[in-house]
Amino acid sequence: MNCKNCQIQLQTDENFCHSCGAKVMRNRLTFKNLWNDFKERVLNLDNNFFRTFKDLFFRPHLVVDGYISGVRKKYMDPISYMGIALTLSGLLLFLLRKYFLDKINFDLPFDNFDPELARKMMLVSMDFNSFLFLLYIPVVTLVGWVVYNRKSYLLSEYLVQGTYSLGHYSIFTTPVTLIILLLAPDYYFDLSFPIIALMALYAIYVASKIHGFYWLRTLLFFFGFGLGFFALGILLNIIFLLSGVITLEDYMPKG
């Protein structure tokens, strides 16, 4: 048996590599194992961020398959990577609220939709942004597991793929969003929907690199993702109603 991180030969009774110190992974991933790995590693971010970032663009199958098969030293783990994504997203929201909120055009392309109401809805959604974004992980995970899973990943193993995909999407779209706010804040809302579509496209790209590309499966993934996006939209509107930002009368046709 060889270490999956440094490839040095190990004794069958060794639990840690005597060369690099990596833990020997013998069991498949379960939710319990994911939780234990989170507790051991979430406060120990290593210096492999840039390698993980680069390979999630060009070789995501190596990152995801590596983590699932037991590689723990070469790449940053998905929980830590998602933590960085949420930190950057939180910083972007702080800048948006402090410097750009008054520059955004809230005139949405819907008849009789109050721009001030749109502004209030955005403020509430910003308060729940991290929670709502994390809800996309089970959407991408479950839809991908049903549609694309050609390697017989466990659902908990496919959760690793979904977490890497959404974390990376958030990291590389954060500077894009900031550029939009700096150069063309009037188009922030117009460009927000294509950026959401990019989330699905990147998840498909990662799944295709790992499981192979299939047109029918891609269409099914878009359909499932659309259903999930619609469900999260309903949840967001429920939050708006419960917070008092909007009322049932706001849904009624005007004029």
The SS3 of residue 237 is: helix
The chain-wide mean pLDDT, for the chain, equals 84
Q: What single-letter amino acid sits at 127?
A: D
The per-residue pLDDT for range 156-212, each reduced to its tens digit, is 999 999 999 999 999 999 999 999 999 988 888 778 888 888 999 999 999 999 998
Distance between CA atoms of residues 243 and 118, nearest Å: 14
The SS3 of residue 153 is: coil
What the block records as the tokens of 241 is: 């109603």
The per-residue pLDDT for range 223-241, each reduced to its tens digit, is 999 999 999 988 888 888 8
Task: Find the range with the poorest average confidence among 25-29, 61-65, 246-250.
Answer: 25-29
- Provide the residue count of the chain: 255
Please give the average per-residue pLDDT across 102-109, as a whole number.
74
Sequence-separated (6 or more) residues with CB below 8 Å from residue 131: none
**Most confident residue range from 104-108, 143-147, 236-240:** 143-147
Sequence-separated (6 or more) residues with CB below 8 Å from residue 178: 92, 95
Q: What is the DSSP letter of 22?
A: P
Per-residue confidence (pLDDT) for residue 249, from 0 to 100 = 75
Asked if 211 and 68 touch (Cβ cutoff 8 Å), the reply is no
The per-residue pLDDT for range 35-76, each reduced to its tens digit, is 776 666 544 545 588 889 999 999 999 999 999 988 878 899
Radius of gyration of the chain (CA): 21
